[in-house]
Amino acid sequence: MNQPFPFLISEMTREIFSCEEGLTLESGVNLPRFQLAYTTQGHLAPNKDNVIWIMHALTGDANPHEWWSGLVGEDKFFDPTRHFIVCANLLGSCYGSTQPLSENPETGEPYYYDFPALTTRDMALSLDKLREHIGLASIHTIIGGSLGGQVVVEWAFLLQERLKHAVILASNAKASPWIIGFNEAQRMAIAADGTWGKKQPDAGEKGLEAARAIGMLSYRHPTTFVQSQGETEEKTDEFKISSYLRYQGKKLANRFNAFSYWVLSKAMDSHDVGRGRGGTAKALAAIPSKVLSIGVDSDVLFICEESRYISQHVPNGTYREVHSIYGHDAFLIEYEQLNYILKSFYLENNS
């Protein structure tokens, strides 16, 4: 990894990339034009070999220094005094990128339910247009977990030799029935909201709260809840876990919308790097990048066997495992282990 740039202050910039040429989606539908909100921090090296591109998860945004503070920031593993760090809000998300509440240029009104279905492949293609806009011929590392990890897999296939390293945390090469089932249950909760179907920004808000509660159960391991939400007194109602899940539901509904949640969870379900490419094993075998696939031993959503599968089928794959009681969310929590795993990976690969 590169040495620090002397006397350079690593200020973060927030920008909007507007793509007027639009995007032809995997479904064949044309998104006439779109925008991606993104942040950059740090400075490009003269030969542009220090680019770290970070991908967020389902309800994340383009501010990794906030939600991944143990890995991103000055004196952290991904340090803007050494790296040029890019993070874009995924297409379909509601933090500045084109999404269902954006204006449909054909009608002048918000898309609402007419927003086209997206796949992780579409997301990777939109990000590649941003890469070209920034002027990056290649990328040193793309890293992401969960939905972000799925997009990393797709983008790694697309980039080929233009990507040196892909780091995929708690993710997979193809969405499993288990994950699709959890997402479908969450969308059923949204659809059960009496406001869903109405053309208003807060449609499905109560359903989104219920969806988030369902999701939270899959993001953690049962042991986590025993420790944090276990009862010390005998009860028949008003349990800690009930209050916790309701709080988490309201918290998300205050910052997100049901439309984006619907579209992004559908994109997660669509994920299959092998679609149209001869299957997952064949597609993974065509990725030349050095790939680090990280599983979490207590993850009940993206089980570690799925992470191991990626490392076994790419030509240059490494598998490492995080040991944690926090389940799927461990990739956002276990900074000490992640720092050690990343450092070892780069040392082993002399980069």
Distance in angstroms (rounded) separating the CA atoms of residues 347 and 351: 6
122, 193, 269, 299: which is the annotated catalytic residue? Answer: 299
Spatial neighbors of 6 by CB under 8 A, at least 6 apart, are none
Concatenating the DSSP letter of every residue in 192-260 gives TSTTBTBSSTTTTHHHHHHHHHHHHHHHS-HHHHHHHH--SS--SS--HHHHHHHHHHHHHHTT--HHH
Residue whose C-alpha is closest to residue 280's, from 247, 306, 250 = 306
Look up 114 and say whether it is catalytic: no
Rg of the chain in Å (alpha carbons)? 20
Cα–Cα dist 224/214, whole Å: 15
Q: Are strands 84-88 and 51-55 parallel, antiparallel or unpaired?
A: parallel
**Which residue of the set 93, 270, 328, 329 is catalytic?**
328
| 9 CB-contact burial (10 Å; exposed 0-12 / middle 13-18 / buried 19+) | exposed
- Annotation marks residue 146 as catalytic: yes
Residue 55 and residue 185: Cα distance in Å, rounded?
A: 25
Q: CA 327 to CA 305: how far, in whole Å?
A: 14
CB atoms within 10 A of CB 322: 24
Q: Is 231 left (phi over 0), alpha (psi -120 to 50) or beta?
A: beta
Active-site position among 146, 270, 311, 324:
146
- Residue 126: strand, helix, or coil: helix
Q: Is 313 a catalytic residue?
A: no
Cα gap 57→19, rounded to integer Å: 23
- Catalytic residues, by residue number, are 146, 299, 328
